[in-house]
Amino acid sequence: MSIEGRAQLPGARRVVVKVGSSSISGENAGKIQLIVEALADAHARGTEVVLVSSGAIATGMPYLALDERPVDLATQQAAAAVGQNVLIYRYQDALRPFAIVAGQVLLTAGDLENATHRSNARRAMERLLGLRILPIVNENDTVATHEIRFGDNDRLAALVAALIGADALVLLSDIECLYTRPPSEPGAEPIDTVSFGDDLAGFEFGSVVVNSVGTGGAATKVSAARVAAEAGIGVLVTSADLVAEALAGEQIGTWFAPDPSASPSVHTGAVRA
């Protein structure tokens, strides 16, 4: 089905939800339970849910006695190798009371550019969903390089949503919605809806933010939302704290309307990462 507005999210057939590192690591690690409960509610309604979760490097940092995100590739890869294992365990532990099993899917940018790898990834996720498994997708940071990577998991989530023909994409962040300029600045106004094709040139979303645990920011979410909307997929950007309300179709966040001339269907062509 085509999701034309956020109110239709509860009835979606297939939804991709993306959560960032800062929302589920460090002092926010406990929010995994909040997110899982919302996903479980959607799962119980019959919605097929795919979670794109950042956080491998951030989760692994304490185990390597790192106070800040490492800047060299080898240490990033080491932190990811340790953290991905812990991250999936935390998700599975939270999912266990709901009798939901998680399936780990690690992708690189090259996987979505290579026709064979892309087909394999799509087939694997389709089978997981058919078995009522909850796929948890992340970039394979252990083998990714600076030269060949998605750049941020907002974009990865948009590409995955297009790959599997999702009805909607929910991008979770640290703020309730997007603003016309950074919300700390005077005159910042919340953005409720972005119609397809709207010119956002006058808004100041800022550049990519690199903090102590991850990368991202409003600009990456706008860019990812555009990618998904062009594929006929509606996108909601809101706070991780409001994930339950988002999946329940409440009037929150910033909604990016999909291209009305497109329909979400499995993407069989090349997906540029």
Binding-site residue ranges for ATP: 18, 173-174
Q: Which residues line the annotated binding site for substrate?
A: 54, 141, 153
* Both tokens assigned to 90: 């935390």
Amino acid identity, position 191: I
Most distant pair of Cα atoms in the chain: their distance: 51
Q: What is the 3-state secondary structure (H, E, C) of the chain?
A: CCCCCHHHHHHCCEEEEEECHHHHCHHHCCHHHHHHHHHHHHHHCCCEEEEEECCHHHHHHHHHCCCCCCCCHHHHHHHHHHHHHHHHHHHHHHHHHHCCCEEEEEECHHHHHCHHHHHHHHHHHHHHHHCCCEEEEEECCCCCCCCCCCCCHHHHHHHHHHHCCCCEEEEEECCCCCECCCCCCCCCCECCEECCCCCCCCCCCCCCEECCCCEECHHHHHHHHHHHHHCCCEEEEEEHHHHHHHHCCCCCCEEECCCCCCCCCCCCCCCCC
Q: Which residues line the annotated binding site?
A: 18, 54, 141, 153, 173-174
